[in-house]
């Protein structure tokens, strides 16, 4: 089996896509958000994921988001583009575009709605793998796509030359450890569920992809530093417990994107409401978010 480098590591923010009051993309605010994330110590950025509402954007808008993110990041952190779509040929086109724009990698979930079989899904990923030269991060999120990629299947995908990472978002710790055991250094495992981030990092995950990092970037970066770099588990646990009310609220509320965007506004970075069919958080929901955020001291020492 071949050995693959794991260049990506740390906290990668699943970027929101800021919107104006009329529902159009606010590119200047996106650029400001990207700059803020980089300045707060985030290790990488993932535009056009589920938190970034890729499914609600036109191809032209997707290109604008990628260009703006790349320009604002200015090489300070790697940008891994979400290039998902419903058809393999569209995923290939979006992935090639990301490569041409200079992205460091692409993140790929199972195509949504069509519910491909695992063999069909393998052929899909193989086709994308053969079409580009970028690292691929597999994104397993059956709650969104309707297709569950078990660790054994992901280990099979890891034999493809560009498949180097996985974002595991089921929230099941045994999945994390099984992936590490099956794939070793062939595949870098990222936690994709906020509420198990501490445990995941402690047992060997190389990073954490999170949407709440839009809201609390410094705390996210600090948690990685304490857990992975300094091995200061007591301080890491204290910080994580301060973050947990917010993380649990976001994960369990059924309105992840809506609440992440609302919380960005509460923290001084207004990103507008999601594009319909999703709606803005209510006043009562914002009050819940405010209460949870007060329990997290940003960048706690």
Q: State the Cα–Cα distance between residues 184 and 128, nearest whole angstrom.
A: 23
3-state helix, strand, coil in the chain (%, to 5): 50, 15, 35
Query: What are the C-alpha distances in Å from 183 to residues 169, 175, 266?
Result: 17, 12, 40
The answer to whether residues 94 and 128 touch, using CB atoms and an 8 Å cutoff, is no
Query: What are the C-alpha distances in Å from 42 to residues 73, 158, 212?
Result: 11, 26, 12
Q: State the Cα–Cα distance between residues 191 and 220, nearest whole angstrom.
A: 12
What are residue 138's phi and psi, to 5 degrees? -75, 140
Concerning whether 112 is annotated as a catalytic residue, the answer is no
Classified as helix, coil or strand, 278 is coil
Q: Which two tokens stand for residue 259?
A: 């609440």
Bridge partners of 106, per DSSP, are: 81, 136
Marked catalytic residue, from 4, 29, 167, 255: 167
Q: State the Cα–Cα distance between residues 169 and 51, nearest whole angstrom.
A: 13
Concerning whether 167 is annotated as a catalytic residue, the answer is yes
Marked catalytic residue, from 4, 139, 222, 224: 139
**How much is the CA Rg of the chain, to the nearest whole Å?**
18
Q: State the Cα–Cα distance between residues 292 and 263, nearest whole angstrom.
A: 10
Q: Is 90 exposed, middle or buried (0-12, 13-18, 19+ CB in 10 A)?
A: middle
Catalytic residue ranges: 139, 167
């Amino acid at each position: 089996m071949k050995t693959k480098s794991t260049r990506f590591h740390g906290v990668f923010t699943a970027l929101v896509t800021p919107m104006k009051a009329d529902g159009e993309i606010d590119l200047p605010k996106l650029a400001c958000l990207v700059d803020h994330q980089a300045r707060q110590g985030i290790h990488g950025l993932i535009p056009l994921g589920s938190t970034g509402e890729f499914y609600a954007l036109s191809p032209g808008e997707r290109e604008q988001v990628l260009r703006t993110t790349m320009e604002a990041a200015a090489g300070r952190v790697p940008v891994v583009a979400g290039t998902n779509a419903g058809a393999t040929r569209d995923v290939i086109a979006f992935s090639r575009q990301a490569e041409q724009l200079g992205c460091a990698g692409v993140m790929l979930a199972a195509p949504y709605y069509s519910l491909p079989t695992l063999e069909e899904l393998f052929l899909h990923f193989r086709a994308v793998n053969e079409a580009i030269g970028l690292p691929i991060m597999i994104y397993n999120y059956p709650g969104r796509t309707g297709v569950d990629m078990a660790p054994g299947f992901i280990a099979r995908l890891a034999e493809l030359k560009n498949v180097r990472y996985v974002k595991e978002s089921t929230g099941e710790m045994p999945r994390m450890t099984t992936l590490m055991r099956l794939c070793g250094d062939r595949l870098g495992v990222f936690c994709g569920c906020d509420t198990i981030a501490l445990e995941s990092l402690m047992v060997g995950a190389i990073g954490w992809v999170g949407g709440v990092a839009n809201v609390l970037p410094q705390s996210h970066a600090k948690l990685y530093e304490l857990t992975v770099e300094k091995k200061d588990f007591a301080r890491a646990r204290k910080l994580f417990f301060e973050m947990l009310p917010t993380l649990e609220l976001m994960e369990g509320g059924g309105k992840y994107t809506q609440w992440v965007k609302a919380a960005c506004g509460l923290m001084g970075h207004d990103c507008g409401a999601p594009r319909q069919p999703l709606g803005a958080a209510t006043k009562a929901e914002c009050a819940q978010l405010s209460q949870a955020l007060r329990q997290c001291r940003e960048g706690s020492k």
